């Protein structure tokens, strides 16, 4: 029994020595881990809370647009961008509101909201904002600014529309030769899209694109023969 007590005491002494050497480190690591878990839980709660609140504001925005209440839509969109800019609802709301503002004749607000999506949006949403912003600038005869929005890389799904819009701007500037090239590029990209499709979906896409192709061809034909 005495031998057992002695062995037990030696083990306790070893533990004490080990704890004296590494105890502070263990406590620090456990504290850091606990803080990390708590921080992660708080962050997830915050994200869920932000998303839930953003969803409610987005619903108000949609209702305002349907009711053609431009002031209320403008306020709701502003709240989305200011308070919930990190959620997916912000760029969607800005795009919807920008369309409503443009229809209401408030080009200034429409441009601000579209520019926000260009700066903060991602992928297709950003490209859509660039395309719409270029259209607003074209309407204002700000041709050089419109062309800047249409410069640079663009996702494949918007390549044809960007080429067409570039042709519209160049045509408005009286640069018929460059506009012709842009419209031809748009038609070529549409042809390429039709060829890359497969099977039944490809045929359906080609049929769906027929009216758009005809419109592009009409724009090209309206420029007359190249000199």
Rounded to an integer, what distance in angstroms lies between the CA atom of residue 165 and that of residue 130?
A: 11
Alpha carbon 43 to its chain's center? 22
* Helices assigned H by DSSP within the chain: 2-66, 70-83, 89-103, 107-120, 123-139, 143-150, 159-172, 176-196, 199-222
Q: Which of 105, 121, 137 is the last residue of a domain?
A: 121
Query: What total of structural domains would you count in the chain?
Result: 2
pLDDT tens, residue by residue, 130-181: 999 999 999 999 999 999 999 988 988 899 999 999 999 999 999 999 999 9
- Statement to judge: residues 164 and 205 lie in one domain: yes
Examine residue 188 and state whether it is found in any structural domain, yes or no. yes
Residue 107 structural domain = 36-121
Examine residue 23 and state whether it is found in any structural domain, yes or no. no
Q: Which of 106, 121, 136 is the last residue of a domain?
A: 121
**65 within 8 A of 110, measured Cβ to Cβ:** no
| pLDDT for res 68 | 87
| pLDDT for res 135 | 95
The CATH number covering residue 169 comes to 1.20.58
What percentage of residues in the chain have a pLDDT greater than 90? 41
Backbone angles phi, psi at 20, to 5 degrees: -65, -35
pTM, full prediction: 0.73
- Statement to judge: residues 114 and 160 lie in one domain: no
| pLDDT for res 142 | 96
Examine residue 141 and state whether it is found in any structural domain, yes or no. no
**130 within 8 A of 118, measured Cβ to Cβ:** yes
| pLDDT for res 33 | 63
Q: Is 197 helix (H, G, I), strand (E, B) or coil?
A: coil
Dihedral class, residue 87 (left if φ above 0, else alpha if ψ from -120 to 50, else beta): beta
Rounded to an integer, what distance in angstroms lies between the CA atom of residue 159 and that of residue 212?
A: 14
**226 within 8 A of 180, measured Cβ to Cβ:** yes
* Residue ranges for the chain with pLDDT beneath 50: 1-2, 43, 46, 198-201
| pLDDT for res 200 | 42
């Amino acid at each position: 029994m005495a031998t057992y007590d002695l062995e037990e005491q030696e083990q306790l002494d070893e533990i004490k020595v080990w704890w004296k050497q590494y105890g502070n480190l263990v406590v620090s690591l456990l504290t850091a881990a606990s803080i990390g878990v708590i921080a992660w839980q708080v962050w997830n709660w915050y994200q869920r809370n932000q998303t839930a609140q953003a969803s409610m504001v987005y619903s108000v925005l949609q209702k305002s647009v349907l009711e053609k209440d431009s002031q209320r839509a403008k306020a709701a969109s502003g709240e989305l961008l200011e308070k919930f800019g990190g959620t997916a609802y912000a760029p969607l709301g800005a795009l919807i509101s920008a369309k409503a503002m443009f229809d209401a004749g408030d080009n200034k607000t429409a441009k601000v909201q579209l520019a926000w999506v260009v700066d903060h949006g991602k992928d297709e949403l950003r490209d859509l904002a660039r395309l719409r912003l270029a259209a607003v600038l074209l309407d204002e005869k700000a041709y050089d600014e419109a062309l800047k929005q249409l410069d640079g890389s663009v996702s494949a799904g918007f390549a044809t529309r960007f080429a067409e819009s570039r042709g519209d701007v160049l045509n408005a500037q009286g640069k018929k030769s460059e506009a012709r090239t842009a419209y031809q590029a748009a038609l070529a990209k549409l042809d390429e899209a039709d060829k890359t499709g497969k099977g039944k979906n490809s045929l359906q896409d080609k049929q769906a694109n027929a009216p758009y192709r005809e419109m592009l061809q009409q724009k090209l034909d309206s420029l007359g023969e190249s000199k």
